[in-house]
Amino acid sequence: MSERLEDIAVQMMAEGKGLLAADESTSTIKKRFDTIGLESTETSRRDYREMLFRADEAMKKCISGVILYEETLFQKAADGTPFVDIIKAAGAIPGIKVDIGAKPMAGFPGETLTEGLDGLRERLATYYKAGARFAKWRGVIAIADGLPTWGSIKANSQALAYYAALCQEAGIVPIVEPEVLMDGAPGTHDIAKCAEVTEWVLRTVFADLYDARVKLEGMILKPNMVIDGKNARKASVEQVAEQTVKVLKATVPSSVPGIAFLSGGQSTEEASAHLSAMNANYDMPWVLTYSYGRALQDSALKAWGGRSENVAAGQRAFAHRAEMNSLAARGTWKKDLEKAA
């Protein structure tokens, strides 16, 4: 496997593949497990992630990389095989979430600043040794009355840029994720507002990446789609696709090899439909694919329900979503394929 940043980034964007975001922090995975009434322990987290990573066919066909939480990067499957080895054996690249969370931002009520730069150079060296070849940092921007502020956009953007520079120094491809929330409170903004804020955020992020001397060829962008708030959803698939492509074309340099969307609270089918519509209908200079958490995992989590006898059912559900999103990455997803399954 090549170790050049550019080549790793291209492998992450392999045709018909995308990223599995399985990097839920301990507090986030607890929330997910609460929905199936399962206690979150080191063992239950291991069993759940082992089910996903051992869905061999789906992994081989549809997943180019897996974003892990630190615990999982160093964790072993029940039979003692390191998860990193299982992921690599499926032809996927292990990655690691390196931010330590969006924390309330001092002086900016209702906004957050993502932390984790202190000691990051040393942590990256450890993660590289453990096999990670890409990383993720998520900055969070909320839309509400009077929000976001320039202060919070700028602070989050500068943190993303310096994180990306540190990753590249360590031989790790940074996924730069500035997420404009669709499901933050109150979630009543329209798609035009999301377009305006997303454009403002992406312009700022690419200016800061340039100032930080980040090589755009050796990074991946993980943005939100341009979509109305979760409590005001009415934009059509075509509108979401059109507005998202428009904002990306206005802000993302063509030297960026790929864009891998987060799902952000869209339903599993919406996330596939939107991605497919963009790839089917627009010419773009970058590969456009998925880096979904919930939109790849929700149905698998439900089908599994925390029970060992349901592992095969959970894997089937995961394989179906992976397959649907793989089609979407090629622009060939169709709604009736969902029904057929």
Residues of span 114-143 touching ligand 13P by CB under 6 A:
138
Between 148 and 293, name the residue whose CB sits nearer to ligand 13P: 293
Token pair for residue 300? Answer: 């698998």
Cross-strand pairs, 303: none
Which one of 24, 50, 111, 177 is the catalytic residue?
177
Rounded CA gap, 150 and 304, in Å? 43
Residues of span 62-101 touching ligand 13P by CB under 6 A:
none
Distance in Å, CB of 337 to ligand 13P, minimum: 21
Residues of span 20-59 touching ligand 13P by CB under 6 A:
21
What is the per-residue binding string for ligand 13P in 245-264, x denoting contact by CB under 6 A? -----------------xxx
Which span (147-155, 242-250, 287-295, 301-309) binds ligand 13P, by CB under 6 A?
A: 287-295
Which one of 222, 230, 242, 323 is the catalytic residue?
222
Distance in Å, CB of 309 to ligand 13P, minimum: 27
Per the annotation, the verdict on 136 as an active-site residue is: no
What is the per-residue binding string for ligand 13P in 175-194, x denoting contact by CB under 6 A? --x-----------------
Coil, strand or helix: which one is 124?
helix
Helical segments of the chain, H only: 5-12, 26-34, 42-53, 56-62, 70-73, 83-89, 120-129, 150-169, 191-211, 237-251, 268-281, 294-304, 311-330, 335-340
Per the annotation, the verdict on 97 as an active-site residue is: no
Rounded CA gap, 46 and 51, in Å? 9
Which residues are within 8 A (CB) of 43 and not within 5 positions of it... i.e. 6 or more apart?
none
Scanning the structure block, which residue is given the tokens 């409170």? 185
Give the other-Cβ count within 10 Å of 238's Cβ.
Answer: 12
Q: Could you list the residues that contact ligand 13P (CB under 6 A)?
A: 21, 138, 177, 262-264, 292-295
**Catalytic positions:** 177, 222
